[in-house]
Structure formats: structure tokens, C-alpha cells
Amino acid sequence: MSLIKVLVVEKSDILRKGLTAMLRTASDIEIIGAVSSHKDAQDSLGYLTPDVVILGYHAGSEGFLEGIYRLRSDTLSPLVVYGSQIDDPALLKCAGEIRHMALLEVSGSGSHFLDELQGSLLEAVHQAAVSRLIEPPAPRRIEIPETGDMAVVIGASTGGQIALMKLAPHFPPDFPAAILIAQASRRGFSRILAERVGQVTRMPVKEAQHGDEIIAGQVYIMPGGESAVVEEDYIEARRFVRIKMHEIAGPEMQEHVTDRLMGSVASVYGSHAVGVLLTGLGRDGVVGLKAIRAVGGRTFAEDASTAVVYDLPAAAVADQVVDKSVPLWFMVEEVCNAARAIAERYALPTRL
């Protein structure tokens, strides 16, 4: 088995030394260079051929994004960018435009920063190396149902914003179900994410608000710092499904935001629900997928071949609550196939 050749770009001497020492603990990784600037990295690419380039992002770093674009012009190697403030809108836009670029958000400082980074970075390097070898197939025409009485709920954490930016462009503009997205984030970031996703998809996208009526063909980004559920409502004979928000009270509630959203979707939509877990850490969403599967809905998890961090999908697979593990570039097709199967099961009309 060949070693994964890694080039590290980090302006802090302490972090650069710590990162290279940490990466060398992996028996299948070879550090072929460790430099302090994008210019040094570009010079290195004249004689080095890394499989993965790792870059440290420091808020306010002048010329960082320009450096990213210049690096991409010199190499097709996957990029893994880590930092404590990677929700910068310009950086997210850059990641949405550049293929094979993953973002890792890490809190803490000094040795704690490296300790938190270690597991996710090693996993990201391995997944990035795999993505370099696998090219997505050409998109296929997808038959979708006309009915709007369905809901797709997607959960993600670490690396999820980039996965969403890659998924969103492939949903058809007349997709027949509402899409509800729970991306673990701090308060205020969900509005930025909604704007970014809205720029790359053909479906309307909004940050969800308390009382929003769920409409087929609309994408709703759940706000950070709140816990969202869906509930049925009736005015005279008309049935509505609305989004209800609750303030997050305590760490336990924070840890199960996706579980509660998925559980409420299972209760309201039953077998017309589709649940998806993308890249991330932890277990938030595993119980939610179980609830959707228990009522006859379909459940999917991102495959290890494309997940930036496979921890969350792996937990769902281990608990046997996933119908199918799917690489990211096949996910939209599988979701549309699930929607068509629901339509056929209940004799609903379909169209191309």
C-alpha cells in the first residue's frame, strides 16, 4: 500500500511542528513538505507532488483566499483547511467553488487545539486521498413524483456545510418535497449558510423561522442556537405543517437537535419521510434516523468514501438504522428514487 503524501502549510512554527509530528504517527502518511506560506507551497509544487495539501486558516490572514486559488491552479490535490473560524462567508464561498476542498472547524488553543484536531484531521486526510482517486459520474436524468406530501430531512456537523454546497446544485428545481436541513452551527451562521446554498441551488432556500409553513420544493436551513420541530396545524379543513422553534436549554438539548427534528418529521410524515445523515462527529441524528425507519420512511448515510468525517454516519450504520450508505455524488439520485418509490407505493402520479 502506497503512502499518502502530505504537504503542510501553516504560518505558526509551533503548530506546523506539532502537526507534522502528529501526522507522522500515522503509518500510511508521509510528510513531504512543511512550509509557512502559500508562496512557499507554490514553490514546493514545482518539485513535489502531494496527494493532500493541509492548510491552517487564521482569521484576518491577508491574501489567504487568493493563495488558495493560486494553489488550486498549480495542483489538483485535495485541500484540507482547518481553523477556529472557518465560517467566514468568503472562505465558504471559496470552498463551494473549489472541488475537493474540505473545511475542519477546531476550537481551543495551544496543545488543546492539536488534541482536538488530531482525530478529525487524520480522518479528513484519508478521505481526501480517496476522493483524489474517485471521479463522480455524469448526472443522470431522474424521474420524480408530483406529490408534495413528503419531507426530506438532512443532518450534518463537521464538514457538512461543504457537503451541502456540493449536494444542493443537483436537486431539480421542481423537487416535490420540502427539504429541512439541520447543520450543527453557532447562532447567526445558518443565515449565511442559507444564502450560500441559495446561490448554488435551483430551489428556493431560506433560514427557517418559528411558524413557517412547510411547502414542497422549499429548502429550510434550521437556525443555530435553537431546536426546531415540525407540527401539524389545521385551519378549518385544511392541514398545515409548520416549523416550531424552541430555545436550547443546556448541553443535552444541544446534542440532540437533529434527533428531535427527525423524530418530529417521522411523527408528522410517517412513511413519506426520508432521512439523511452526512459527514460529522458524534451521534446527533442516529436516533432520528431510527424513528424515520420505524414508521416506514427511507434512511441514508453518507458513505465513508466521500465523508470528510465518517464518525456520525458510521454510528448510524453501526446501530443498523441506515437503509443504504451512499457516496455524496449519488445522494440526490437516491433521495429522488426514494421519493418515486413513495409515490408508487401510494399510487401517486409521477413525471420526468
The pLDDT value given to residue 109: 60
The pLDDT value given to residue 118: 77
Determine the Cα–Cα distance for residues 201 and 198; give it in Å rounded to an integer: 6
The answer on pLDDT for 252 being more than 70 is: no
What are 146-157's pLDDT values in tens digits? 445 889 999 998
Residue by residue, DSSP assigns 292-328 as HHHTT-EEEEE-TTT-SS-HHHHHHHHTT--SEEE-H
The pLDDT value given to residue 65: 80
The pLDDT value given to residue 31: 94
The pLDDT value given to residue 247: 77
CB 124 within 8 A of CB 80: yes
Residue by residue, DSSP assigns 143-154 as -EE-----EEEE
The pLDDT value given to residue 2: 80
The pLDDT value given to residue 132: 60
The answer on pLDDT for 352 being more than 50 is: no
Average pLDDT (48-59) is: 85
Could you tell me which residues come within 8 angstroms of residue 339 by beta carbon, excluding any fewer than 6 positions away?
A: 144, 145, 150, 152, 175, 176, 177, 274
Residue-averaged pLDDT of the chain = 83
**349: confidence class by pLDDT, cuts 50, 70, 90:** very low
The answer on pLDDT for 14 being more than 80 is: yes
The pLDDT value given to residue 244: 94
**123: confidence class by pLDDT, cuts 50, 70, 90:** confident
**57: confidence class by pLDDT, cuts 50, 70, 90:** confident
Q: Is the pTM of this model over 0.85?
A: no
The answer on pLDDT for 95 being more than 80 is: no
What are 264-289's pLDDT values in tens digits? 999 999 999 999 999 988 999 999 99
What are 193-241's pLDDT values in tens digits? 898 899 889 899 999 999 999 998 899 999 988 889 999 887 766 778 9
Determine the Cα–Cα distance for residues 230 and 265; give it in Å rounded to an integer: 6
Looking only at the bridges linking them, the beta strands covering 273-277 and 151-156 are parallel
The pLDDT value given to residue 139: 44
Determine the Cα–Cα distance for residues 268 and 241; give it in Å rounded to an integer: 8
What are 17-46's pLDDT values in tens digits? 988 998 998 899 999 999 998 888 888 877
Q: Mind listing the domains of the chain with CATH numbers?
A: 4-133 (3.40.50.2300), 146-351 (3.40.50.180)
**251: confidence class by pLDDT, cuts 50, 70, 90:** low
Percentage of the chain modeled with pLDDT above 90? 35
Structure-model confidence comparison of residues 346 and 10, the more confident one? 10
The pLDDT value given to residue 235: 74
CA nearest neighbour of 301 among 273, 329, 331, 271: 331
The pLDDT value given to residue 144: 44
